[in-house]
Amino acid sequence: MIRIGLLLSVLAGPLWADTVVAARTIPAQTTIMPSDVLLNNRDIPGGVTELNDVVGMEARVALFAGRPIRPGDIGLPAIVERNQIIPLLYQQNGLLITTEGRALGRAGPGDRIRVMNISSRSTVTAQIGADGAAYVAR
């Protein structure tokens, strides 16, 4: 029993790792370049630890110089802009319904946003595909 307690106390201790921080202030909706980030030897819980996980992504919020970058602060670059007309698809059990929708937000692949069906003016929540279409169901 003592060995298990010792093992748990060792595992519960902090793990030290480098944290990715912004080298300069990066405005929201900006693609992050290699020169925009640095690896800092501080351990910041919840911070991104790999430069490759950040470079090429888009800042979802303003990232301030010297502050850690957290996974929720970044995402895939947006492929759909607010008010853009995009294909709106419902696909389930062999049935495919396609119409046009107006994006009510900005989004990248995999993001869920609200989309207004242009013909019915009803609003649905859809997931943006890699092709830029909004999928209500798959």
Give the DSSP per-residue string, 46-87: T----GGGTTT-EESS-B-BTSBP-GGGEESPPSB-TT-EEE
Q: Which CATH class is domain 16-75?
A: alpha beta
Q: Which pLDDT does position 37 carry in this prediction? A: 94
**Mode of pairing for the β-strands spanning 85-92 and 95-103:** antiparallel
Give bridge partners of residue 134 from the DSSP assignment.
Answer: 88, 128
Residue boundaries of the structural domains of the chain: 16-75, 85-137
Q: Which pLDDT does position 15 carry in this prediction? A: 52
Tens-digit pLDDT profile for residues 3-31 = 554 444 445 545 557 899 999 999 999 99
Interatomic CA distance for residues 100 and 48, integer angstroms: 38
Q: Which pLDDT does position 16 carry in this prediction? A: 59
DSSP class of residue 105 equals S
Q: What value, to the nearest 5°, has the Cα angle with vertex 105 and ends 99 and 111?
A: 85
What mean pLDDT do residues 109-124 have?
95
Here the tokens at position 29 are: 């909706």
Interatomic CA distance for residues 57 and 22, integer angstroms: 13
Q: Which pLDDT does position 45 carry in this prediction? A: 86
**Spacing of C-alpha 64 from chain mean position:** 18
Residue 124 confidence (pLDDT) above 70: yes
**CATH architecture, range 85-137:** Roll (2.30)
**pLDDT averaged over every residue in the chain:** 88
What mean pLDDT do residues 115-136 have?
96
Provide, rounded to the nearest whole percent, the portion of the chain with pLDDT above 70: 88
Confidence of residue 81 (pLDDT cuts 50, 70, 90): very high
Q: Which pLDDT does position 59 carry in this prediction? A: 95
What mean pLDDT do residues 53-74 have?
94
Residue 78 confidence (pLDDT) above 60: yes
Residue 50 confidence (pLDDT) above 80: yes
